[in-house]
Amino acid sequence: MMSDINNAIREGNNNVEDHGGIVLVAIQIAQHFLVNKKLDIQQEFEEGRFIDELFKFYSFIQSDQIINDFTFVLVHFMDDMTHTQKLKMKQEKYITPLIHLLECNDEDCLAQISMFLFDIAIQIDLSGEIQQQNQIRSVFEKFEALPQLLKIMKSENFERDDINSYSAAIIGSTYKASKLPDEFRRIVIEQLKLAAQHKDKDIAGLSALVFAGLAECVDNHSDIVAEIIPHTLS
């Protein structure tokens, strides 16, 4: 069955208009397998099958063609992948297709992509923490993900506030223990402050996690204090 699913997804590359429906059905079947624990993620990784084919499809589909039905599977990946498997997702071949899709206008799709990118960005190999952060930052910088995330946070077109929270968290976690660049600093800290007050405890928790990482660099202290303390005392 997985062979048929992979073939269907492969057919969608370069021909989404004609085969997008088949790809969608294939992804939904794979999601069903994930929910029912019938998909061996490790085996798919080792043999370069479903996960690789899916992300190749993400690299081919245009941002104005993507809908959340194509990306909801990312939520299942977050739930089902192990820490080690998520570390493997830090490779350029998995990150760049999602960067390309950050230009989409489907809010649910954008929320799922940004949530997944954050979940991958925070995964740290404790034997080489700095190397891991530099690895994903270099991919984000090479393919201009950070300016796109900044554009998302400045946009007034989205109703879902978690999109801004995850966008800020991605940038903040990317600069863990490093100075936030001037062009990102204020808006990232502002959005993280708003995330800390979010009714969703998971989003509020990610704010604390990212702030803790940024606070490891003394160059960020004054900006964090300037933004957070006045609101805490008011």
Which of the pair, 125 or 32, is modelled with greater confidence?
32
Q: Report which of 51, 58, 95, 114 is spatially closest to residue 77, judged by C-alpha positions.
A: 51
- 108-to-4, 69, 72, 113, 178 alpha-carbon distances in Å: 28, 9, 9, 9, 31
Confidence category of residue 133, pLDDT binned at 50, 70, 90: low
pTM of the full structure: 0.91
Kindly tell me if the per-residue pLDDT of 232 is higher than 90.
no
pLDDT digits (tens, 9 = 90+) for 37-93: 889 999 988 887 999 999 999 999 999 999 999 999 999 999 999 999 999 999 999
Domain boundaries, the chain: 109-233
Taking alpha carbons only, the member of 182, 174, 185 closest to residue 143 is: 174
Please name the residue that has the structure tokens 């489907």.
Answer: 106
Return d(Cα 143, Cα 25) in angstroms, integer. 30
